Amino acid sequence: MYVRCSSHLSCLVHVPQVCSTAFASLFFATRVAWMPYAIMELANNHPKKWKGLGLARYSLYPLCALQYYWFYRILLMLTRKR
């Protein structure tokens, strides 16, 4: 969206909001959408590599749940700002 500003200082007000929205979008794309897909892809299609992770592979599922929690917290932060 194009915002026409009368001065450069008034345009700076929109910068944190734009940066926060961009951060939330990228966080969603990489951590909430892609990361669980990549883990399931590895588990289902590459069993040798999956077993090669050893016991660390069991920590990936709670790590995904943690990403959902953090995304929820990010959304709360963004909605409280506005």
Range of the domain at 25: 14-81
Q: What pLDDT sits at residue 81? A: 64
Q: What pLDDT sits at residue 52? A: 96
pTM of this structure: 0.74
Is 4 inside a domain boundary? no
Q: What pLDDT sits at residue 18? A: 83
Contact in structure between 41 and 34 (CB atoms under 8 Å): no
Is 46 inside a domain boundary? yes
Number of domains in the chain: 1
**Residue closest to 59 by CA, chosen among 35, 78, 33:** 35
Q: In whole angstroms, what is the distance from residue 82 CA to residue 78 CA?
A: 7
Is 6 inside a domain boundary? no
The segments of the chain whose pLDDT lies below 50 read none
